[in-house]
Amino acid sequence: MKNLFVTPQIPFMGSENALPLEQADAVLFGALHGTPYLNIANEPFASAPDAMRVSLEDDARWLDHWDYDLDGPLMGDKGFKLADAGNLKTTWEDGPGNRAKIKEATSLILSSDAVPIMIGGDDSVPIPFIEALAPKGPLTLIQVDAHIDWRDERRGEPLGYSSTMRRASEMDHVERIIQVGMRGLGSARREEVEIARAWGAEIITARKLHADGLGAVMQHVPAGANCMITFDCDALDAGIMPAVMAPTPGGLSYYQAIDLVAAVVQKANLVGFDMIEFVPERDTNGTATLTAARIVANVIGCLARG
């Protein structure tokens, strides 16, 4: 495990970076790079995990204080243990090597019976992450995103960030795909929308979520199902999340995001979570970084109560 990761200088809030995997209930790690497109750099996302760690450094000193998002201290009262493994030793141009590292790390965490929590990286890093969750199948995959990501290929690359859900749909252990927050213009054409719907993907637009509430999503989540959430930061409204490559008005609010996570944990089994597509250099005052990090903290808090 040590050969895969660089130990973080600041572990994520509430975690222990020296905690053995077998003692952890959840393990967080950074996946800085995925599969690049030709002439499109994936470096802007690489500092996201460390930026989120730094944003919660002060809050980590107050773990015994009341967290009103969770109605109690972050880590709960059941002895929940979070480990921070650090950042994978990925490089921007090595798509095959990056995918192999992500899959290996996720598999190691699962073998210790812990929940993997991955911070990317662009929207190609979930592909090997989802692959590694095969032992948790049949899997209900919940994508929170402004875009559906059903392209078969883009720029000749089938494993890039526009193809994540298309590749997931081809995995035998993925039983159900629920997509939440779609709006605006993305890489999907009529063809991709029709293929997604024909496969059986449930597409809940941001407009529908705003109109009908979380019930529009949760009606599609079977009780007791094994679920994985992949959370693209551009799912959030641009007013609170400008630090993405494609900020779009009309997205989810902070409370819609954390309430969705809480609802999934209460109804089903959250067996994996990733947060992707955060661009720290586009956060001018630090509030977007804190918003993203707090959503991850809520995931941890919900797991601690699960």
CATH number at residue 217: 3.40.800.10
Predicted local confidence at residue 16, as pLDDT? 81
Residue 182 pairs in a beta bridge with: 205
Averages of pLDDT over runs of 10 residues in the chain (306 residues) are 86 87 95 94 94 96 96 96 96 96 98 98 98 98 98 96 98 98 95 98 98 98 98 98 96 98 98 98 97 98 96
- Domain around 60: 5-305
Number of structural domains found in the chain: 1
Predicted local confidence at residue 21, as pLDDT? 85
Predicted local confidence at residue 306, as pLDDT? 87
Predicted local confidence at residue 2, as pLDDT? 61
Side-chain-facing half-sphere of 244: CA atoms under 13 Å: 28
Predicted local confidence at residue 1, as pLDDT? 61
Neighbours of 149 (CB within 10 A): 29
Predicted local confidence at residue 17, as pLDDT? 74
What residue spans of 3-94 are helical by DSSP H? 48-55
**pTM above threshold 0.75:** yes
Predicted local confidence at residue 32, as pLDDT? 98
Predicted local confidence at residue 205, as pLDDT? 98
Give the span between the Cα atoms of 57 and 269, in whole angstroms.
Answer: 29
